[in-house]
Amino acid sequence: MAESSTLTCEEKQHENVPVYEFIDVNSKEFHIGAFRDLWLDVLNPEVYSYGEPAPEIEDVEFIEEMGIEPKTLEELKSICSVDSLRSRHEDTDNVPSDLHLSTLKLRKRRQDYKETLTRDTADRHEVYANEMFKFVRAYQTLHVLGSQKLSDLRDAICCVSDLQVFGEFSNTPDMVPQFISKDHYKSAFFFFNGTFFNDTRFPECQDISKTTREWTRTRDFPEFKTAKMEDTSFYDLKMKVGFPYLYTHQGDCEHVVILTDVRLVHQDDCLDMKLYPLITHKHRVVTRKCSVCHLYISRWITTSDAFAPTDPCLFCDQCFRMFHYDDKGNKLGDFLAYAYVDPGTFN
């Protein structure tokens, strides 16, 4: 085939069909909206639109197709109804706790064992997560719609640093304010392919990518662009599947964001658009227990604390108060106390 410097129409289309940049690692960059359009061009709309026809229309079509009377249809409906398959008594799956019969004991043991098993479905996200496990565990997996804005994804990402409460409260442990960092520090950005997508929805938002961009200007980096997170939908983006991108919030809390799949909605996906971005997986984090009782999740962290075995030291609320205050709530000794939010809060 003769080489040509101009792209033919077909070649242009192929630009947006994902191909590997590095085999089994990540794809080359492609335009998500254009990739979707390529699919829609070749697929019959029946294959990807899951809107159900109105029941009345379905009824009329059925009557015509079968050549029956409307009365017969009603009769068929009641005979074939799913309700007619239900037994009239409730069958709970719970084995009674009062176990005299050996059969029940066995059933109970099997039931307890079953509950310890984790579901093992291997879709592409899971496969990816399992591969990643050698290095790092994906903390959270979300399904997001192409039509959604980057800010919708931002709002769905759970991170404890959004929940921190700033301040030292050893003198006023009952007066920890309800404001969390998310209410105070709303700036954030995604960094995709040389562009910083900043959140600018609120007046207090700042461009926190500025420092980085200024730093790169004094080095030999290409010029980075900025755009608004809330004005950019996923359809607008050119992305690489499998490539590590960056999400930064709370100044310097950084998260790796990886797009693991881009596809049309399936029949067995959640079809309620309002529920997206949809969290499909959240990795359970080990909770940090109180260093005294080793039982409850920590609520306080102290420093310069003569009562504590370590510095800093974690306490549950009960142990913290028992060790550091008398009956009347007076502070005992010198220490600094900060509210602690456990990473396992989202478990």
Pairing, β 238-239 against β 140-143: unpaired
Find the binding residues for Zn ion in span 160-189 (CB under 5 A). 161
Reading the block at residue 265, the tokens are: 């909605």
Burial 131-167 (b: 16+ CB within 10 A, else e): eeeeeeebbbbbbbbbebbbbbbbebbebbbbbbbee
Q: How far is the CB of 290 from Zn ion (least distance, A)?
A: 3
Q: How far is the CB of 285 from Zn ion (least distance, A)?
A: 13
Pairing, β 195-198 against β 225-228: parallel
Q: Which residue's CB is nearer to Zn ion, number 159 or number 208?
A: 159
Q: Which residue's CB is nearer to Zn ion, number 292 or number 337?
A: 292
Which of 158, 176, 253, 279: binder of Zn ion (CB under 5 A)? 253
Reading the block at residue 17, the tokens are: 């069909």
Q: Which residue's CB is nearer to Zn ion, number 241 or number 314?
A: 314
Q: How far is the CB of 189 from Zn ion (least distance, A)?
A: 12
Which of 40, 275, 293, 322: binder of Zn ion (CB under 5 A)? 293
Q: Which residue's CB is nearer to Zn ion, number 259 or number 290?
A: 290
**Per CB under 5 A, 297 contacts Zn ion:** no
Q: Which of 18, 39, 24 is nearest to 239 (CA)?
A: 18
Q: Which residue's CB is nearer to Zn ion, number 243 or number 300?
A: 300
Q: Which residue's CB is nearer to Zn ion, number 128 or number 296?
A: 296
Q: How far is the CB of 60 from Zn ion (least distance, A)?
A: 55
Give the relative orientation of helices 55-66 and 70-79 as an angle to the nearest 10 degrees.
110
For the beta carbon of residue 230, count every other beta carbon within 10 angstroms.
Answer: 17
Q: Alpha-carbon distance 71 to 286, whole Å?
A: 62
Taking residues 272 to 291 in sequence order and writing x for each that binds Zn ion by CB under 5 A, - otherwise, the string is ------------------x-
Which of 229, 308, 319, 341: binder of Zn ion (CB under 5 A)? 319
**Per CB under 5 A, 237 contacts Zn ion:** no
Q: How far is the CB of 139 from Zn ion (least distance, A)?
A: 10
Environment class of residue 192 by beta-carbon count within 10 Å: exposed (0-12), middle (13-18) or buried (19+)?
Answer: buried
Residues that contact Zn ion, how many (by CB under 5 A): 9
Q: Alpha-carbon distance 65 to 281, whole Å?
A: 45
Q: Which residue's CB is nearer to Zn ion, number 26 or number 250?
A: 250
**Per CB under 5 A, 341 contacts Zn ion:** no
Encode 181-197 in three state secondary structure. Answer: HHHHCCCEEEEECCEEE
Binding site for Zn ion (CB under 5 A): 159, 161, 253, 290, 292-293, 296, 316, 319
